[in-house]
Structure 1
Amino acid sequence: MILIKWQGAAGICFNADNQLLMVLQGTKEEAKSWAVPSGGKEATENFESCCKSEVYEETGFVVDIIREVLHKNNDAVEVRYFEMIITGGQMMIHDPDELIYEIAWKSKDELLDLTLSFPEDRQFLLSLFQ
């Protein structure tokens, strides 16, 4: 049996108040948790275009990529995290999968206590605050 590695991208975006853009997500049946906007890469996409489209679907913001800040790569997944700036759009959920329930800007102190979809990201995300 051949296992196909899941590939995706995540967007890291801060506002002028040094708050991180995050989404509350989960299926209808599961407990909801917080993450930076992210999602799976389509076969025809590169990681950058995946990141831009996922951020738009989950938050309504149009973004430009500044740089890649983390590359997670193991046997099961490959996820690239990109620092971004908002260039347009407005806060609104466009998620066709209906997995996003809230969009919010979170401070460093708030991030310490949030239930995260990917708890292993907490220290990395905290390190990005200025």
Structure 2
Amino acid sequence: MKKWYGASAICINPQGQLLMVLQGKPAEVKTWSVPSGEREEGETFESCCERETKEETGCIVKAKQLVTIKKQVYPELEIEAEVRYFIVELIDGTIKVNDPDQLIIEAKWQPKAVLEELQLSYPEDLIMLKECLEKM
């Protein structure tokens, strides 16, 4: 089984909104997620988190605190995934999607009130994301 490692950014602006991306391949249903992606060889999880956020949203962030490590097995894909979620500090909040994978349709600041209404890529993240928003 192939191992996949990645990082995700939990970025909250001064207005208490969460930075999220709408993603999906052309034929797929588009879903919302926090910026995230695969760790490249020689890259730390923190630098992966920062790079992916810039690529997917244009925003510049600094990884500050590890929130959780999510491990999942996808038997149908023969992949074992480990994703580290970081609270990040927003350095520059100018949104400009520049995703090299061309999977990101839109990047947007989402208020906590709409999170439950969004179709999430990873619905299991909802509770953790809401907890992070409440702490800020």
TM score, norm. by length of structure 2: 0.89
Equivalent runs, 1:101-112 vs 2, <5 Å: 101-112=105-116
Q: Which residue of 2 aligns with 1:26?
A: 24
Q: Which residue of 2 aligns with 1:39?
A: 37
Query: Deviation at 1:89?
Result: 6.1
Please, which runs of 5 or more residues in structure 2 have no aligned partner? 74-79
Q: Which residue of 1 aligns with 2:89?
A: 85
Please, which runs of 5 or more residues in structure 1 have no aligned partner? none
Distance 1:80 1:87 in 2: 20
- Tell me how large the CA RMSD over aligned residues is: 1.2
- Are residue 100 (structure 1) and residue 104 (structure 2) matched? yes
Q: Please give the per-residue CA displacement for 1:14-34, whole angstroms capped at 9, x wherever unaligned.
A: 011111000000011101000
| Percent of pairs with identical residues | 46
Matched length: 128
Query: Deviation at 1:5?
Result: 1.1
Distance 1:121 1:88 in 2: 25
Query: Deviation at 1:74?
Result: 4.1
Structure 1 residue runs of 4 or more that deviate by more than 4 Å after TM superposition: none
TM score, norm. by length of structure 1: 0.93
